[in-house]
């Protein structure tokens, strides 16, 4: 019954999509026309339609990252019309709907751009640099013993809430993509804050922030200059307060840790 | 590398230096502005020239002059190093980018604004500091070097006044981002105080820069 709803009128769109064979070759924007796109489709479903068309014509489909398609996994990326995850605030690309666009629109779609993220193919990028930052200290060591009772250590509700807000980071890399400096500090700060706020995480807080920042810098990400584009584009609303906390953690760790190397 | 040099060559360490020197330079702006308000006293520069004599002969001020020079040097050097690193963190640019939809122009263009201020600083130092130290300067009624007449003469040219006013606008935008950003970098963010810091930073930027810009405008239009 979609046809009865004037807002569901199918759209015809022009896409300019970044096509790149692999990390070693040069890429370019290629123009495609997609027809009969329902406004109720997600942006990724529109790409599914494009890819079916391409397959039917015997062409290589566009590679793009996706997994859960419900906004929680952080796999989907795409720089859409100059914005990470497109024009809508607080959404991932899979949760961006075609009703945000108009019939006849031209949409430019590029991969995340940062030297720390290499393009695998087309719109798919290698974001394992973020995994390596996480591996450098984004954990709590539990060396031995049985499973402790969940409520054994009392944590005030406001602190638990703050830690949870930081923990909502889905590691999609939109902060890096949107940052003028290609800095991953919003991501890094969410991981550092999440653990430094909690009693279990405080044990390793100094080595954690030192090692994670060292890995961030070694991966070739830029330095934060407090522009705020990251927080504005973050699909889960990670706040800049986390970056201030990261700075505090780093200053106090460097001033007081036993690490003199 | 020792832990100390490692700290201050990390991405956070370098911007800590930019933040600390930036706030120090803000304190210089306050002193410079208050002192120079004597340009407005209607005594043909006697008070201003006496103040100039004090500033060029007091040993504490002379020592602070070196600290100030170091402050500028570190602020500029660290900012240049950070900017170069940041530019090289993304070698393939976006074909279409809409940063104006997620951030402020001044926040994204601190390097450009800083460069305008740096060029202004060179012209400003040449015209006043350099002339006072090494040039032929007449003496006023009290026997002090008459820096006041140099100001009067300089600000009789429209293009010179325009350079000053444009530079002060650039400085205002630089400070509007920089003042609150320095506190964020130092980790001084708290829901009780951050709104006040941001509001004060805005007020500070506009009042200080308007105060400086008023001097060339006063001499050009009213003197």
B1 domain residue, yes or no: no
pLDDT at A8: 77
- Which residues on adjacent β-strands are paired with residue A126? A118
What is the pairing mode between strands A79-80 and A83-84? antiparallel
ipTM: 0.92
B2 domain residue, yes or no: no
Determine the Cα–Cα distance for residues A213 and A185; give it in Å rounded to an integer: 9
Nearest to A249 by CA among B83, B10, B201: B10
Q: Which DSSP symbol is given to A99?
A: G
| A213 in Cβ contact with B152 (< 8 Å) | no
Q: What is the pLDDT of residues B27-66, one digit of tens each?
A: 999 999 999 999 998 888 999 999 999 999 999 999 999 9
> Do A79 and B94 count as a contact with CB atoms less than 8 A apart?
yes
Nearest to A86 by CA among B102, B173, B41, B11: B102
Residues of A in contact with B12 (CB under 8 A): 213, 223-224, 246-247, 250-251
> Do A113 and B104 count as a contact with CB atoms less than 8 A apart?
no
Determine the Cα–Cα distance for residues B164 and B170; give it in Å rounded to an integer: 10
Nearest to A17 by CA among A121, A158, A141: A121
Residues of A in contact with B13 (CB under 8 A): 254
Determine the Cα–Cα distance for residues A102 and B110; give it in Å rounded to an integer: 36
B212 domain residue, yes or no: yes
> Do A247 and B85 count as a contact with CB atoms less than 8 A apart?
no
B98 domain residue, yes or no: no
> Do B90 and A182 count as a contact with CB atoms less than 8 A apart?
yes
Residue whose entry in the numeric block shows the structure tokens 């909690």: A198
Q: What is the pLDDT of residues B100-142, one digit of tens each?
A: 999 999 999 999 999 999 999 999 999 999 888 888 889 998 8
pLDDT at B189 over 70: yes
DSSP code string of chain B: --HHHHHHHSHHHHHHHHHHHHHHHHHHHHHHHHHHGGGGSTTTTHHHHHHHHHHHH-HHHHHHHHHHHHHHHHHHHHHHHHHHHHHHT--SPPSS--GGGTS-HHHHTHHHHHHHHHHHHHHHIIIIIIHHHHS---B-TTSSB-HHHHHHHHTTSHHHHHHHHHHHHHHHHHHHHHHHHHHHHTT---TTTHHHHHHHHHHHHHHHHHHHHHHHHHHHHT-
Give the pLDDT band (50/70/90) at residue B68: very high
B135 domain residue, yes or no: yes
Around A239, how many Cα atoms within 13 Å sit in the side-chain half-sphere? 15
| B47 in Cβ contact with B38 (< 8 Å) | yes
Residues of A in contact with B16 (CB under 8 A): 247, 251
Query: Which residues, including other chains, have CB under 8 Å from residue B57's CB and lie 6 or more apart?
Result: none
Residues of B in contact with A232 (CB under 8 A): 102-103
Residue whose entry in the numeric block shows the structure tokens 């090692």: A211
B16 domain residue, yes or no: yes
What number of other Cβ atoms are within 10 A of residue B162's Cβ? 12
* Closest by Cβ to B91, choosing from A110, A115, A216: A115
Determine the Cα–Cα distance for residues A215 and A198; give it in Å rounded to an integer: 23
Determine the Cα–Cα distance for residues A250 and A41; give it in Å rounded to an integer: 44
Number of folded domains that form chain B: 1
pLDDT at A3: 44
Determine the Cα–Cα distance for residues A120 and B181; give it in Å rounded to an integer: 36
| B170 in Cβ contact with B113 (< 8 Å) | yes
The two most distant CA atoms of chain B are separated, in Å, by: 65
Domain that holds residue B198: 7-90+106-221
Encoded tokens for A152:
């054994």
> Do B187 and A241 count as a contact with CB atoms less than 8 A apart?
no
* Closest by Cβ to B93, choosing from A113, A224, A243: A113
User: What domains sit in chain A, N to C, each tagged with a CATH number?
Assistant: 2-120 (3.10.20.30), 128-141+154-256 (1.10.1060.10)
What is the pairing mode between strands A106-110 and A79-80? antiparallel
Determine the Cα–Cα distance for residues A76 and A127; give it in Å rounded to an integer: 11
H-helix or E-strand spanning residue A45: helix A43-56
CA dihedral of B31, B33, B39, B43, whole degrees rounded to 10: -40
Determine the Cα–Cα distance for residues B125 and B135; give it in Å rounded to an integer: 13
pLDDT at A7: 65
pLDDT at B177 over 50: yes
B96 domain residue, yes or no: no
Mean pLDDT by 10 residues, chain A (261 residues): 60 97 95 96 97 97 97 95 96 96 96 96 97 97 83 92 97 98 98 96 96 98 97 97 97 93 75
pLDDT at B95: 97
pLDDT at A2: 42
B193 domain residue, yes or no: yes
Domain with B193 in it: what CATH number?
1.20.1300.10
């Amino acid at each position: 019954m979609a046809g009865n709803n004037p807002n569901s009128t199918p759209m015809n769109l022009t896409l300019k999509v970044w096509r790149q064979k692999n990390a070693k070759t040069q890429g370019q924007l290629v123009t495609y026309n997609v027809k009969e796109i329902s406004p109720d489709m997600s942006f990724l479903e529109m790409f599914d339609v494009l890819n079916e068309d391409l397959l039917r014509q015997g062409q290589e489909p566009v590679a793009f990252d996706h997994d859960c398609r419900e906004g929680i996994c952080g796999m989907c990326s795409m720089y859409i019309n100059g914005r990470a995850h497109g024009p809508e605030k607080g959404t991932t690309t899979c949760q961006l709907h075609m009703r945000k666009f108009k019939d006849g629109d031209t949409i430019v779609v590029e991969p995340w751009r940062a030297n720390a993220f290499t393009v695998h193919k087309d719109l798919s990028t290698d974001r394992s640099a973020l995994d390596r930052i996480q591996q450098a200290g984004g954990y709590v060591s539990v060396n031995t013993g049985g499973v402790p009772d969940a409520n054994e250590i009392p944590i005030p509700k406001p602190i638990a809430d703050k830690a949870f807000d930081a923990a909502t980071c889905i590691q999609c890399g939109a902060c890096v993509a949107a940052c003028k400096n290609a800095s991953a500090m919003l991501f890094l700060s969410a991981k550092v804050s999440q653990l430094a706020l909690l009693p279990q995480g405080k044990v390793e807080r100094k080595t954690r922030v030192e090692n994670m920042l060292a890995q961030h810098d070694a991966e070739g990400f830029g330095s934060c200059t407090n522009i705020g584009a990251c927080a504005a584009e973050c699909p889960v609303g990670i706040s800049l307060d986390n970056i201030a906390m990261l700075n505090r953690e780093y200053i106090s760790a460097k001033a007081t840790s036993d690490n003199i190397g | 590398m020792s832990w100390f040099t490692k700290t201050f060559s990390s991405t956070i360490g370098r911007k800590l230096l930019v933040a600390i020197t930036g706030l120090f330079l803000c304190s210089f702006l306050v002193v410079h502005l208050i002192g120079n308000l004597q340009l407005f006293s209607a005594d043909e520069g006697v008070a201003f020239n006496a103040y100039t004599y004090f500033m060029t002969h007091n040993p504490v001020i002379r020592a602070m002059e070196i600290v100030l020079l170091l402050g500028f040097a570190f602020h500029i050097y660290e900012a240049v190093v950070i900017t170069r690193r940041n530019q090289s963190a993304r070698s393939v640019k976006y074909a279409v980018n809409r940063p104006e939809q997620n951030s402020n122009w001044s926040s994204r263009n601190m390097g450009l604004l800083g460069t305008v201020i740096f060029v202004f600083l060179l012209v400003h130092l040449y015209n006043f500091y350099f002339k006072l130290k090494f040039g032929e300067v007449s003496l006023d009624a009290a026997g002090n070097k008459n820096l006041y007449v140099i100001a009067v003469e300089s600000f009789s040219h429209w293009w010179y006044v325009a350079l000053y006013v444009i530079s002060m606008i650039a400085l205002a935008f630089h400070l509007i981002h920089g003042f609150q950003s320095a506190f964020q970098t130092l980790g001084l963010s708290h829901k009780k105080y951050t709104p006040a810091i941001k509001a004060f930073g805005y007020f500070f930027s506009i009042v200080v820069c308007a105060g400086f810009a008023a001097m060339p405008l006063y001499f050009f239009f009213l003197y």
